Amino acid sequence: MTLRVAAIDCGTNSIRLLIADIENGKLTDVIRTMVIVRLGEGVDKTGEFSQAALARTFAAIDTYAELIAEHKPELVRFVATSASRDVSNRGEFVDGILSRLGIEPDIISGDEEAALSFLGATADLLNFEPAPIAPYLVVDIGGGSTEFVLGTTKPTAAISTNVGCVRMTERHLVSDPATPEQIAAATSDIDAAIDQAYLAVPIAEAKSLIGLAGSVTTVAALALGLTEYDSEVIHGSRISASEVHRVTQELLTMTRAQRATLGPMHEGRIDVIGSGALVLDRIMARTGLSEVVVSERDILDGIARALVSNPS
């Protein structure tokens, strides 16, 4: 039996929609789309969503509501992550989603975010050639947080840390390009989060690093020398630690105008890609894992799959 589901992942930087048909564990995309809305813009400083950020997000939701009405999924879930946990005016956000979609957003914990990321990322790993070796350390670098999840068939340990590409850019990398002092301050924050992750997750047990989300996939595209973003080439690619470091150093020394000329660069990532790359670079340096296996499947796929396994 085929079940059509819709999953919406509302993060700090982007909001994404997946409408998919799932049958016998196989997920087939009907619609997969993304809008960069920067919902978490300024949240680290003000503690609330700005009216401009809410307007951008609600405009994207209006479009998604039309797609959902057109494709008629049987189950729909809207998940909101890092930025939505932190704000004082999340009631305004919740009401705006409810009025547009007829459902309330689930503002999930960091633990559930990590588990859904792991579910989405690992369902496809055995199709890679060669398949990554378990246990896997799944790292999901978002706008406001980074999740570290260890497991094989399911998560055995996880933590969500408050470092992400938007948060680190707004907090530290404010010059164009960032100064060495700003990069050092961001690195210190990232390393502190990795220290925190080591206390909660037995990272040393990991045999493979699986990297998720737009910062990772964009770094992979640049490391692969792509002239435009190609998800089929990026999905399952393996990028060495030395290549991640090279790309990170190049991004951090570029101006915004220079980053904007890069073929695979999404317009909404131009400002924040340097800090996202730095998070990945520091994780690889600290764990000693020699390569990252890049997955285009992530929390969005996990939300969709969880709807089938736990439809209530």
CATH number for the domain spanning 74: value is 3.30.420.40
CATH number of the domain bearing residue 157? 3.30.420.150
State the pTM of this model.
Answer: 0.84
Distance between CA atoms of residues 159 and 114, nearest Å = 7
Lowest mean pLDDT: which of 3-7, 25-29, 134-138?
25-29
The pLDDT-based confidence of 32 (bands split at 50, 70, 90) is very high
Same-domain pairing of 87 and 181: no
Give 237-291 pLDDT, tens digit per residue: 999 999 999 999 999 999 999 999 999 998 989 999 999 999 999 999 999 999 9
SS3 helix, strand, coil % of the chain, rounded to 5? Answer: 50, 20, 30
In a domain, 235, yes or no: yes
118 assigned to some structural domain: no
At position 159, the amino acid (one-letter code) is: I
- Other beta carbons within 10 angstroms of residue 104's beta carbon come to 12
d(C-alpha 105, C-alpha 7), whole Å: 11
Same domain membership, residue 176 and residue 99: no
Instruction: Report the domain count for the chain.
Output: 2
Task: Tell me what pLDDT residue 263 has.
Answer: 94
Sign of CA dihedral 121, 125, 130, 134: positive
Q: Does position 312 have pLDDT exceeding 60, yes or no?
A: no
Amino acid 136 reads Y
Instruction: Specify if 116 maps to a domain.
Output: no
Structural domain including 208 reads 125-294
Domain membership of residue 120 (yes or no) is no
